[in-house]
């Protein structure tokens, strides 16, 4: 079995799923895809934003009263990420592939490294929207993954599946 870990920024579109599968169509071994969707931590995001603004002393104690709202926000974020993972896995399965997926609240590269180690991944594919500034400074997921993993890492830009009229 040839294990490929996919780190996706958003749901795999049908064209993206086809493109990924086409990359492995001539593999002698069966391929298994592991879709990983990073999931934002709502509470950490709010706390980091408040700290970055230098206003933690003004809003910090008030954050405790917002725990219920943050928990609800996190539940919505998790639900969307699980749906993204599930729909991406289903697109690969619809193409006759073996696939599984999940979400992670860890930093994306930490989650990727852990997943590659756990499933003994032989290849990584990272699908993102273009991030020109991060890529220029080599701070993007792909460059980071290449520094941390000893497997081939391919970066694909996600296909924009929106109709031209809505762009």
For 99-122, how does the pLDDT look when each residue is reduced to its tens digit (9 = 90+)? 999 999 988 889 999 999 999 999
Cα–Cα distances (Å) from 88 to 46, 95, 145, in that order, read 28, 11, 21
Let me know if residue 129 belongs to a domain: yes
Assign residue 47 the CATH number of its domain.
Answer: 3.40.50.620
Chain segment 42-100, per-residue pLDDT in tens = 444 444 444 445 554 555 555 555 667 777 877 888 888 899 999 999 999 999 999 99
Q: How far apart are CA 156 and CA 8, in angstroms?
A: 10
In a domain, 102, yes or no: yes
Summarize the confidence of residues 124-130 as an average pLDDT.
81
- Identify the helix (H) or strand (E) that includes residue 154: strand 153-157
Domain carrying residue 20: 1-51+61-155
Question: Poorest-confidence range of 5-9, 59-63, 109-113, 145-149?
Answer: 59-63
In a domain, 166, yes or no: no
- Residue 160 maps to a domain: no
Q: What percent of the chain has pLDDT over 70?
A: 64
Residue 163 lies in a domain: no
SS3 state at 107: coil
**In the predicted model, what is the mean pLDDT of the chain?**
77
- Total domain count for the chain? 1
Task: Judge whether 165 lies within some domain.
Answer: no
Q: Is residue 167 part of a domain?
A: no
Handedness of CA 119, 120, 122, 124 (dihedral sign): positive
């Amino acid at each position: 079995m040839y294990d490929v870990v996919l780190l996706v920024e958003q749901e795999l579109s049908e064209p993206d799923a086809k493109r990924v599968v086409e990359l492995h169509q001539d593999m002698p071994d069966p391929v298994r895809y592991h879709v990983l969707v990073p999931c934002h931590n709502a509470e950490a995001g709010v706390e980091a934003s408040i700290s970055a603004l230098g206003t933690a002393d003004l809003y910090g104690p008030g954050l405790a009263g917002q725990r219920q709202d943050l928990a609800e926000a996190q539940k919505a974020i998790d639900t969307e990420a699980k749906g993204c993972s599930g729909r991406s896995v289903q697109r690969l399965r619809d193409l006759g592939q073996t696939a599984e997926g999940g979400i992670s609240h860890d930093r994306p590269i930490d989650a990727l490294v852990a997943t590659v180690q756990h499933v003994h991944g032989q290849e990584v594919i990272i699908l993102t929207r273009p991030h020109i500034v991060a890529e220029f400074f080599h701070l993007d997921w792909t460059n980071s993954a290449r520094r941390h993993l000893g497997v081939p890492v391919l970066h694909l830009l996600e296909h924009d599946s929106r109709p031209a009229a809505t762009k």
